Amino acid sequence: MPKIRRPSHAHSWYTGEGDALDAEIDKWKAAVTPLPGLPARAIIGPHAGYSYCGHVMAHAYAHINPANFTRVFLLGPSHHVFSRKCLLSSQTHYETPLGSMEIDQEVYTQLRASGKFDSMSQDVDEDEHSLELHTPYIVHTMRGHPFKLVPIMVGALTTAAEAAYGELLGPYLDDPANLFVVSSDFCHWGGRFSYTYYNKDQGEIWESIKWLDEMGMKIIESAEPSKFASYLETYKNTICGRHPIGVFLNMLQHSRIKHRISFTKYDQSSQCTAPSHSSVSYASAVVTVAE
């Protein structure tokens, strides 16, 4: 009997009615002019409420050719449960208002055999939003093309663990039928996030945040995990998906194929101009095979 992970954040973080949600995603994707070049092999995108970041997500998903893929790996951070490992779902399907996705148990068996993955309960799975917020976009984008899902919740990994998981997952990136989706927001700024770094040379607070995020985005585009780790150590930028991004950058080091990362959109939930303000930053990126 199927074990279903329910869309627990529907009707709150995003529209829970299928036709209306479909129309919203259609609208956001239609507003994007895809960059020229090869279609995406992987993307990075945010996971906030769609009213804040749905339009940013579209700047990643609009570059995907669904006909190229039969499997989607989804990597997201854990916001509620602490683990030094990566976690796999205990369910068989992920449900969305747009339809369900079957989890690829063959790949899960391979990953579990490594001994590096733990399982998460249904409650832990459904409490976490970083994976779920991408699932409607995945179903919408892959519609009409059969595929299976490989959701992975990435724990609070050391840099050595990020490298180990990158080495383990890197060969899956060499299979052109595999799409990778990396879930992350960028800077969480303000007292409620315990992060108020401000470089006054950049102008207003929101301009300092943008400067800081864009520095991180350029480093991610360099695809050098050690530089990204050094940036995080220096500036402490509150990029919640830093561990999934770190794993993915290490995957690129273990792929036989050379890839290129290009950021396509950046936005903030609000423009902070006073210390009492707060904001979250959102960015999308597309990963292509380097020509």
pLDDT one-digit tens code per residue, 227-236: 999 999 999 9
Number of domains the chain is built from:
1
Q: Does residue 222 carry a pLDDT above 80? A: yes
* Residue 1 pLDDT > 90: no
The per-residue pLDDT for 36 is: 86
> In this predicted model, what pLDDT tens digit does every residue of 171-182 receive, in sequence order?
999 999 999 999
Q: What is the DSSP letter of 7?
A: -
Residues 6+ apart with CB under 8 A from 2: 92, 93
Catalogue the long-range contacts made by 15-22 (C-beta closer than 8 Å, 24 or more residues apart). 15/50, 15/97, 16/97, 17/97, 18/97, 18/98, 21/97, 21/98, 21/136, 22/98, 22/140
Residue 158 sits in a domain whose CATH number is 3.40.830.10
CA dihedral 73, 45, 146, 62 (to 10 degrees): -150
Length of the chain: 291
The DSSP code sequence of 161-229 is: HHHHHHHHHHHHHTSTTEEEEEE----EEBGGGTB----GGGSSHHHHHHHHHHHHHHHHHHT-HHHHH
Per-residue pLDDT at 250: 99
Residues 93 and 3 sit within 8 Å (Cβ to Cβ):
yes
Average pLDDT of the segment spanning 254-277 = 98
H or E segment and range at residue 88: strand 86-89
Tell me the mean pLDDT in the region 92-100: 99
**Range of the structural domain that residue 157 is part of:** 4-289
pLDDT digit string, tens, across residues 198-213 = 999 999 999 999 999 9
Q: Of all helices (H) and strands (E), which one includes residue 56?
A: helix 50-61
Please name the residue that has the structure tokens 């969305």.
96
* Per-residue model confidence as pLDDT tens digits over 140-181: 999 999 999 999 999 999 999 999 999 999 999 999 999 999
Query: What does the pLDDT average to over 117-128?
Result: 96
> In which band, very low, low, confident or very high, does the pLDDT at 15 lie, cut at 50, 70 and 90?
very high
Mean pLDDT of 111-135: 97
Per-residue pLDDT for 38 more than 80? no
What Cα–Cα distance (Å) separates residue 101 from each residue in 18, 92, 197?
15, 9, 40
The CA-atom distances, in angstroms, between 278 and each of 5, 8, 10, 28 are 32, 26, 25, 25
